[in-house]
Structure 1
């Protein structure tokens, strides 16, 4: 198998202190870099996605305007293109990333498969061109963009693993439900490294 790593949306707005910060986000960012430095040789390619929303419109209803966000389909403004909130968390070593994928850009988008590279190519086309047959998924948030990206990877027939120690979710209940759904769909959910006995 030709394996790739997906780093999903490890951005300032999704970590502590950001517009939609999740608990544990900064720690996950640091642990992803630590993991990747130790395991870079296992991956043919490393792709990282970012929400990259327009700042002058509601992004197809994704940003709540005129009403409170429901935190299901509508959200407070976040990850607006060109802002600090849209940048990778500083603990992510971007030198380890082969390709950067932007998603949103005027429309709601959760999965990395909805994104484009900086040169405008559609991500699914790039993944096929690169010959990727297996994917490991890490990042934020377990119950939204990690879930959507892993499901789409499975739908394309690839072998998929999600590393439970390298993800952070919005809420425990929805994150647990997302991981259970992924396993039902054939995704392997496991730790990135074996856990020591008694740990």
Structure 2
């Protein structure tokens, strides 16, 4: 069975010191690097998602409720949107950027970044993805092109973008598992409920 590791939003703004930092986010970045090194033969592909906001409307707020609205974060082309420096991006095969003009929690709402920006990290793209006559490749498109049947998720944050990506992966028909020690949530209680929800939905929790 062809297997892909999906790294969800391991970005500077979602780690300590970022505009929307999650406790333990930097440790997740470093631990994921170790995991990919130690388990390099386990995955056929490694892909990553990025929040990549241009003008996401009410998703950004000066008075956020931390449920549907949030402080400004991961603005396209800024340092905060880059992958955390402790995440080893060398082995990433493709990056999918989401949320240019909407909230877009799920990686399956993202479209493939240009090949010359994979791995990302330099401020090469200062706004929306470039206009093209070619159809934009989604995460689902890419996984199907590469005959992936099983996806393993890790990253940030458990109770938001990891949750949405996992549920969409299930709906799309993939076998889905979650590396629970390599993800962190925003709210501890919501995170615990999310893990129960994902397990009940059919996600295998790898502890």
Which whole-Å CA distance do the structure 2 matches of 1:93 and 1:23 have between them?
Answer: 20
How far the C-alpha of 1:128 sits from its partner, in A, is 1.1
| Corresponding residue for residue 59 of structure 2 | 62
| Corresponding residue for residue 151 of structure 1 | 167
Which whole-Å CA distance do the structure 2 matches of 1:136 and 1:52 have between them?
Answer: 22
TM-score by length of 1: 0.91
Aligned residues: 186
Which whole-Å CA distance do the structure 1 matches of 2:173 and 2:97 have between them?
Answer: 23
Query: Which runs of 4 or more aligned residues in structure 1 lie more than 3 Å from their structure 2 counterparts after TM superposition?
Result: none
How far the C-alpha of 1:179 sits from its partner, in A, is 0.5
| Corresponding residue for residue 38 of structure 1 | 38
After superposition, the C-alpha distances for 1:116-152 in whole angstroms (9 at most, x for unaligned) are 0014312211111111100100000000001011111
Q: Is 1:112 aligned to residue 107 of structure 2?
A: yes
Structure 1 gap ranges (5+):
192-199
What SS does structure 2 have at the residue aligned with 1:46? strand
Q: Is 1:15 aligned to residue 15 of structure 2?
A: yes
Q: Is 1:97 aligned to residue 95 of structure 2?
A: no
How far the C-alpha of 1:60 sits from its partner, in A, is 2.9
After superposition, the C-alpha distances for 1:133-186 in whole angstroms (9 at most, x for unaligned) are 001000000000010111111111211110111001101101001100000101
After superposition, the C-alpha distances for 1:17-62 in whole angstroms (9 at most, x for unaligned) are 11100100000110000000111221111110010001xx3x1321
TM-score by length of 2: 0.87
What SS does structure 1 have at the residue aligned with 2:108? helix
Structure 2 gap ranges (5+):
115-135
How far the C-alpha of 1:92 sits from its partner, in A, is 0.6
